[in-house]
Structure 1
């Protein structure tokens, strides 16, 4: 995803800053990380408050295999499919990501 596509995706939230990280990109709003683009997937930040909404919408949580062989769950979730075709839905999801970023401090 290029910068213009990412900026369009987050337009409902406001201006974002995109930084390279972890072989992908970190997406920041007002200095707080709200999303990661990793291996072509956009992942939104979530927490205990917002992750149930992501799960109910069919999103999946980013996990990787830890050193012990057990999955490690990260606080980032895929974007529900229907949001890609609806700017209003997308705006709601990216706002949830920003709210989770605010609570993380």
Structure 2
């Protein structure tokens, strides 16, 4: 499944004053990084910002749904990413504000240890 590279370009342009945005493809979408910190994912051409216990109340107040996905056997799962508010798609200030929450959540997240081959 392809994803909208134009949206990634927009995110990078809007966040240029904050840092450098890069991405890595994942399961038909992309993981977005700002200066190496995971802060968002792109799935089905929808932007989802990283959230955590510190920022969840702000996302809830804005009515931003939690990312859910379907697993095998009809089960579903969730990840603590929140759907971006509509205004981030055409307002650079809004993009920086909401992405800033995602960047901060990414910076607070514990660092994952890399797996070593066995």
In the superposition, the TM-score normalised over structure 2's length comes to 0.76
1:24 counterpart residue number: 29
Q: 1:90 Cα shift?
A: 1.6
Structure 1 stretches of 4+ with a deviation exceeding 6 A read: none
Consecutive unaligned residues of structure 1, counting only runs of 5 or more, are: none
- Alignment RMSD, CA only? 1.9
Instruction: Indicate the structure (1 or 2) with the bigger Cα radius of gyration.
Output: 2
Q: 1:12 Cα shift?
A: 4.7
Consecutive unaligned residues of structure 2, counting only runs of 5 or more, are: 111-118
Quick one: which of 52, 58, 68 aligns to 1:47?
52
1:78 counterpart residue number: 83
Quick one: which of 2, 11, 16 aligns to 1:11?
16
Checking the alignment, whether the CA contact within 8 Å between 2:34 and 2:103 is kept in structure 1 is: yes
Q: Report how many aligned residue pairs link the two structures.
A: 105
Are the structure 2 counterparts of residues 16 and 66 from structure 1 closer, same or farther at C-alpha, using a change threshold of 3 Å? same
Are the structure 2 counterparts of residues 36 and 20 from structure 1 closer, same or farther at C-alpha, using a change threshold of 3 Å? same
